[in-house]
Amino acid sequence: MNEQINLPVRKLSRDVIKVWLISESIENGIGFIMLGSLLYLDYLFSWKEWIGWILLGITVLGVGGSLWSFIRPFILYKNWRYDVDEEFLQFKSGVVKQVYQLVPMTKIQSVAMEQGPILRKYGLYSVSVETMGSSHAIPGLPEEVAIELRNQIAHYARLKEVEE
C-alpha cells in the first residue's frame, strides 16, 4: 500500500502580507521606543561606558532585524501552503529549510477560528487546530474560506473518530 500524498497547494490571502507588515511595524516601534529610552537614560545618567556600547550593538542588530521584518512577510506568503483531505491536514513553509507537516485527522482534538484587531481590519481569520502534543495555525484566511476549512476539518476529524 504505497499511497502518494500530494503536496499542499492552497495559498493564504494576499492581505496577510499587510497584516504581517503592520504587526512587525508595531513590534519594531515598541522595541525602538524602549531602546531609545535606554539610550537616553544612558546619556542622562552617564552609565558605564560598556553599557553604551552594548546599547549601540543592540541598535545595529535592531535596525538589521527591522529591515528583515519588512522582507520576511513576502517570503512567508510566497512559500506558505496548506491543504486538507479526509486523512491529513498538511502544511508547507520555509525557503532555506522547507518544512512539510502532516497532521492526521484522527489526532485533531479541536479546531477554532481566531481574529485579532489587525486581522479584523482586513476581514481575515486564523484557523488553529489542537492535537494532544501540539497546535498548528493557518493564518490569514478570508472569512468564508476559514469557516469552510474549520467545518471541513471538524467533519473529517469526527468521521475518522466514529469509524475507528
C-alpha neighbours within 13 Å on the C-beta side of residue 3: 4
Task: Please state, in angstroms and rounded to a whole number, the distance separating the CA atoms of residues 91 and 80.
Answer: 8
Share of the chain above pLDDT 90, in %: 88
Share of the chain above pLDDT 70, in %: 95
What was the pLDDT predicted at 113?
A: 96
Task: Please state, in angstroms and rounded to a whole number, the distance separating the CA atoms of residues 54 and 106.
Answer: 50
3-class SS of residue 130: strand
CA 161 to chain centre: 29
What was the pLDDT predicted at 164?
A: 47
pLDDT at 96 over 90: no
Q: What are the structural domain ranges in the chain?
A: 16-76, 82-163
What average pLDDT does this structure show over 146-153? Answer: 96
Task: Please state, in angstroms and rounded to a whole number, the distance separating the CA atoms of residues 160 and 138.
Answer: 21
Please enumerate in sequence order all residues whose Cβ is within 8 A of that of 154, keeping only pairs 6 or more positions apart, or say none. Answer: 111
> Which range among 27-31, 120-124, 132-136 shows the weakest confidence by mean pLDDT?
132-136
- Tell whether the torsion through CA atoms of 99, 94, 9 and 107 is positive or negative: positive
pLDDT at 119 over 50: yes
What average pLDDT does this structure show over 2-17? Answer: 89
Q: What cell does 86 get?
A: 479526509
Helices 16-45/49-79 angle, 10° precision: 180
- What's the pLDDT tens digit per position in 34-71? 999 999 999 999 999 999 999 999 999 999 999 999 99
Q: What cell does 63 get?
A: 535596525
Please state which of the four CATH numbers 2.30.29.30, 2.40.10.120, 3.40.640.10, 2.102.10.10 is assigned to the domain occupying 82-163: 2.30.29.30
What was the pLDDT predicted at 160?
A: 52
Is the distance from CB of 151 to CB of 111 less than 8 angstroms? Answer: no
What average pLDDT does this structure show over 91-100? Answer: 91
